Amino acid sequence: MRILFIASEALPYTKTGGLADVIEALSRALVKLGHEVAVFLPKYRGVKASSVVLPSMTIPQGTRLRFPAIANGGVHRGVRYFFLDDPFYFDRDGIYGERNQEYPDNAERFTEFSRAAIEMAKQIWLPELIHCHDWQTAMVPTLLRSSYGEDPVVKEIPVVFTVHNIGYPGIFPKEAMERAGIPASVFHPGGIEFFGNVNFLKGGLIYSDYLTTVSRKYAQEIQTPEFGFGLEGVIRSRSNRLVGILNGVDYSVWSPERDTLIPMKYSADNLEGKRVCKEALLDEFKLSKDGVNRPVLGIVSRFADQKGFDLIAEIAHELLHEDVLLAVLGTGDRRYEELFRALTMDFPGRVGAVIGYDNKLAHLVESGADIFLMPSRYEPCGLNQIYSLRYGTVPVVRATGGLDDTIEAFDLEHGTGTGFKFLEYSGEALLDAIRQALNHYSDEGVWKRIQLNGMAKDFSWNTSAAEYAKLYEAARAVRNQSVVSSSN
């Protein structure tokens, strides 16, 4: 099948979060299954393209016309890449915004991107199915079923829409519709209208043939008021077309046996290299050298309430009364950046923090830490807890979304389980789960059993990609049935 992925970011070109990893890895896994896959992305600042495929296309935006180009990114590991080239919208310092502020014209930027994706499909690379990801691409199905509803070339293309994080729905004032070139016909309660505003994600949920999200548990959670962000009713109404497919990980990149970014490779058969990585981690984060015999807790994350940093802030000082060291890598909300800077001053040699993102350091934390913290308020899937399992770094997670699906609570009596979980969203519950882990860390034999349980788990993309391939066939069947019904 010819499958067109449309996304706002993807490795190896652009990354702000796990979406970029998913697009690269899933597209490659589908190619290995025999499918032909192309990925369409915005050409952000610094992205290199090999040539121009289409020097100009006409994109209407209200009373204005725009004339962006389509650039060729070539073929990377079997996957073809194309870019929307419009410097006015995408040659900027940031991807979605700057200094923690979203760009005010994001509705226009990503509507142009969505319309250009459809035009690219018409004129350059016609797919049999389109797979869209998150609110930035939700105008693709919305426009296909409205502006392009009578277009004989594209009107019958089925669309699968994946919600990676419903907490980012893309909400804009109604006035943005005209500036962005969104047809007024879709602004109603059964369309993209949302309490008087425009909700891009809602368009993806309503106008796509099938919906997916990135874990089975999260597919259930987003149908509830607690996790649905006001869209739970829409999702429940389409629950027969909603499938939870767990994200996989790329073990050619995230595996201690193969990792070229860590000081020494290691495996479940020989964990000696993990100690070398721990020593390097202590050095890099300016932690006490005697920490090699003490538990090191690692964090690699965006600093946000969603990721549970309000809980970490609540218990930080009490946690550091335990015999632990803390290595933190990430960036985000300023109050949490300041928290970790303060902790490094208050607990020198006990807390090390790098404010920012560095891929090599992320690998070092995964390989060198003993325990990995992910106390998320909600987590659609999560990747770092899965990376941690393979690196023998025991996760402490909240039992939500993909964290609950991927981490099995350790059972001392049976020797089963891969980590530690807590359910109640409170600092006290998090601290209790960490103390459970620390208690078992003191027993070398028990701790090794937990590590080896985790390292044996397989969350590669092979299974998930096969599930997506089946879903694509179902989406084609549904779209074909819809076409037949409308013609009768």
Q: Which residue range(s) make up the domain with 207? A: 2-248+462-487
Judge if 290 and 319 occupy the same domain.
Answer: yes
Distance CA 112, CA 363 (A): 36
- The answer to whether residues 227 and 318 belong to one domain is no
182 lies in the same domain as 238: yes
CA distance 425 to 428: 9
User: Which tens digit of pLDDT belongs to each residue from 443-471?
Assistant: 999 999 999 999 999 999 999 999 999 99
Residue 485 has pLDDT above 90, yes or no: no
Co-location of 480 and 445 in the same domain = no
Q: Do the domain assignments include residue 256? A: no
Domain shared by 293 and 241, yes or no: no
pLDDT score at 17: 80
Rounded to 10°, the helix 334-346/309-319 angle is 10
Instruction: Give the Cβ contact number of residue 240 at 10 Å.
Output: 9
Mean pLDDT of 335-339: 97
Domain contains 176: yes
Q: What is the mean pLDDT of the chain?
A: 95
At residue 206 the predicted structure's pLDDT band, cuts being 50, 70 and 90, is very high
Please indicate, yes or no, whether residues 229 and 350 belong to a single structural domain of this protein: no
- What's the pLDDT score for residue 483? 62
Residue 473 and residue 443 in one domain:
no
Three-state SS letters, 376-401: CCCCCCCCHHHHHHHCCCEEEEECCH
> Domain check: are 160 and 300 in the same one?
no
467 and 349 share one domain: no
Higher pLDDT, 194 or 11: 194
pLDDT at 62: 85
**What pLDDT shows up at residue 290?**
86
- Stretch 49-72: mean pLDDT: 94
Backbone angles phi, psi at 453, to 5 degrees: -60, -45
Q: Which amino acid is at 437?
A: A
Residue 414 clears pLDDT 90, i.e. is over it: yes
Q: Is residue 259 part of a domain?
A: no
Residue with the two structure tokens 């106390």:
375
* pLDDT of amino acid 484: 58
Overall average pLDDT of the 407-411 stretch = 98
Q: Say how many CA atoms lie within 13 Å of 77 toward its Cβ.
A: 12
Which helix (DSSP H) or strand (DSSP E) does residue 53 occupy? strand 51-54
Q: Is the pLDDT of residue 487 over 60?
A: no
Instruction: Give the model confidence (pLDDT) of 7-20 as tens digits.
Output: 999 989 998 888 99
Over residues 320-328, mean pLDDT? 97
Q: How far apart are CA 287 and CA 353, in angstroms?
A: 10
User: Do 144 and 159 form a contact (C-beta atoms < 8 A)?
Assistant: yes
CATH of the domain at 240: 3.40.50.2000
Classify residue 260: in a domain, yes or no.
Answer: no
* Same structural domain, 393 and 475: no
User: Lowest-confidence range among 16-25, 375-384, 418-427, 470-479?
Assistant: 16-25
Burial of 197 (0-12, 13-18, 19+ CB in 10 A): middle
pLDDT recorded at residue 394: 98
- Give the lowest-confidence range in 14-28, 131-145, 445-459: 14-28
In 116-233 the beta strands, taken as DSSP E runs, fall at 129-133, 159-163, 171-173, 193-194, 197-199, 210-213
CA distances from 213 to 154, 157, 161, 478 (A): 25, 21, 8, 19
Statement: residue 298 has pLDDT above 90: yes
- Report yes or no on 261 lying in a domain: no
Residue 200 lies in a domain: yes
Question: What pTM does this model have?
Answer: 0.89
When pLDDT is averaged across residues 73-97 and rounded to a whole number, the result is: 96
pLDDT over threshold 90, residue 50: no
Question: Each residue of 349-358: pLDDT tens digit?
Answer: 999 999 998 9
Q: Are residues 228 and 281 in the same domain?
A: no
Domain membership of residue 254 (yes or no) is: no
Confidence of residue 486 (pLDDT cuts 50, 70, 90): low
**Mean pLDDT (whole number) for 25-44:** 97
Q: Are residues 136 and 173 in the same domain?
A: yes
> What dihedral angle (degrees, nearest 10) is formed by the CA atoms of 406, 411, 416, 421?
10
Which candidate, 359, 290, 293, 288, places its Cα nearest to that of 327? 288
Residue 433, in any domain of the structure: yes
Number of domains in the chain: 2
